[in-house]
Structure formats: C-alpha cells, structure tokens
Amino acid sequence: MSIVVVAAVIVSEGRVLAAQRAEPPSLAGGWEFPGGKVDPGESDQQALVRECQEELGVEVEVGARVGGDWPLSPGYVLRVWMATIVSGVPHAKEHMALRWLGPGEYYDVAWLGGDLPVMRAVADLLEEG
C-alpha cells in the first residue's frame, strides 16, 4: 500500500502558489505545490487543510481534485486538489521561499519531478477556465 501525499494548487487572481523545498537535501531548492503526508485517521482533504496551516499559515477551502493518483518515488502517491485561501497570507514556514506564478510564468521555477506533470495539467485547466 502506498503512502499518500496530498498537495494544494492554491490559485489567487489567476496565479498559482509554488513553494521551494528546504529539505531533505535531495529535494532542497526544488519547487512543489504545498502539502504533505496524510496522517492515520485523517481524510486527504483534512490533511491538506492541516498541511496548509502548518506550512503556510493559511486556512484553505479544498476544491476540485486534479487528476487521479500521481506517481512519486516508489511507495508514494500524490493526490492533488485545487484550493483557495479563506484566511491568512501565505508565508514560508517550512519552505525556503514562496512564489506566485502567473500565466506565462508557470515554468519559471525548477519544479520537482512529481509536481511538473501536475503543473502541466493545472496550466491546461487554468487556460480553459
């Protein structure tokens, strides 16, 4: 059974929030969508809300799911949802940096391998939007 990692595609005014990993060393400096592992007894959506509070200091409302299960490293699977900020302003509590990426800027950062195909799918969704 795979370990489930959830991620939020936080969109505001047509821009997507990207977060730069601080650790582990093998991933440090790469960019991802904020999120983390689902704890026992927690739904995917509950984990997403908790992780956004812990990592960014914001409360989010979880929206539509993006795709199915996205493969990560062996034994891990990524589940992604669109999200909007209900309260708070995001700040990097566990990341090196945060960056809002508008249309035409989506690929200006070095996305981690597991997050790049998600960004492609999200870009298609936002362009259709």
**pLDDT digits 0-9 by tens, 64-109:** 999 999 998 899 999 999 999 999 999 999 999 999 999 999 999 9
Domains of the chain: 3-114 (3.90.79.10)
- Cα–Cα nearest to 93, from 57, 51, 50, 49: 57
Name the DSSP letter for residue 77: E
C-alpha 59/C-alpha 31 separation (Å) is 21
Residue 112 has which token pair? 């981690």
Q: 35-68 pLDDT, tens per residue?
A: 999 999 999 999 999 999 999 999 999 999 999 9
- Cα–Cα nearest to 99, from 12, 5, 6, 7: 12
